[in-house]
Amino acid sequence: MKPKANGYVFALSAIVIFSIQDGISKHLGAIYPPVFVAMIRYWVFAAFAVFLAARAPGGLAVTAVTKRPALQVMRGMLLPAQIVVIITSFTVVGLALSQAILAATPIFVALLSMPLLGERVGWRRWTAIGAGLLGVLLILKPGGNAFDMEFLLPLTGALMFAIYVIATRLVSRDDPAMTSFFYTGVVGAVSISLVGPFFWTNLAPFDWGWMLLLCITGSVSHYFLIRAYDMLDAVAVQPLTYLQLVFASIMGVTIFGETLTTNMIAGSAIVVAAGIFTVWRERVVARRKAGLSR
């Protein structure tokens, strides 16, 4: 039981740190170009990924070997682009509303797993997907007001991350987790460095402290999440990740003066419930295919 308890500690710690990271990203993204903020963050993240890879069994020489190089590069390029979109969304749309829509990512993963992974989805998961999409529509309030084009930012971010998750599942069939983590950091840092210098901005002295904290939280949160998945099943970790929506809402209201609407709260509840059911159902189906009773 001790490793399992430690897994929950790592998962909750990662979620809290992710939430702090989001708040800092919103603060810096409102002052500096999001591409610039993401680039500095990725430089530290890449150094952290190389450090972990060097300490892994076999070192860098073994960790860098991949059977899916094209897909690993695609993953590495996609994630920093998604981070830029999300930082922009935090600034333009708001922290709480962005996280409410990002909570629908497991729904989009289930939807995309059919054409991209060839998975078959039964009526239970179809029902959850439909309910989750209705929850997203409720958050976006299409009935009362005209659709705000700014909402495309968090929607695009959620879809991009869903594709990243699908790609990660594909490479996990051939490559170990540390190899994927290595390529995420290194390829991501290289790709964003091709664009980021054009948006270079001198940071105010005080904001270097925020940037340093952003880099630290980015590395520590990913490490804690890796440790959590080492000790717990994804079905145990996923429900906890929705606490990030709660923390984001608290920060959005108390620190950034955002407003929570009834539609957003109700829609978020539907999305979270649908997401938890979808992840749980995927685990049930996977274990059934593996010949396990539970």
pLDDT digits (tens, 9 = 90+) for 130-162: 888 888 888 887 555 555 788 899 999 999 999
Give the integer Cα–Cα distance in Å for 253 and 272.
20
SS3 content of the chain, % helix, strand, coil (to 5): 80, 0, 20
pLDDT of residue 291: 65
Residue % of the chain over a pLDDT of 70? 94
Quick check: 211 pLDDT over 90?
Answer: yes
Closest C-alpha to 294, from 175, 227, 286: 286
With cut-offs at 50, 70 and 90, classify the pLDDT of residue 263.
Answer: confident
Quick check: 294 pLDDT over 60?
Answer: no
Compute the mean pLDDT over every residue in the chain, rounded to the nearest whole number: 87
Tens of pLDDT, residue by residue over 18-27, are: 999 999 999 9
pLDDT of residue 69: 94
Q: What is the mean pLDDT of residues 101-110?
A: 87
Tens of pLDDT, residue by residue over 269-284, are: 999 888 888 877 777 7
pTM for this prediction = 0.87
Angle at 253 between CA 139 and CA 20, to 5 degrees: 100
Tens of pLDDT, residue by residue over 2-37, are: 677 888 888 899 899 999 999 999 999 999 999 999
pLDDT of residue 87: 95
The residue ranking higher by pLDDT, 72 or 8, is: 72
Give the integer Cα–Cα distance in Å for 6 and 93.
36
Q: What is the three-class DSSP state of 228?
A: helix
pLDDT of residue 123: 75
pLDDT of residue 234: 65
With cut-offs at 50, 70 and 90, classify the pLDDT of residue 115.
Answer: confident
Closest C-alpha to 26, from 12, 14, 38, 16: 38
The residue ranking higher by pLDDT, 192 or 111, is: 192
Sequence-separated (6 or more) residues with CB below 8 Å from residue 100: 139, 245, 249, 264, 267, 268, 271
Closest C-alpha to 244, from 52, 110, 105, 108: 105
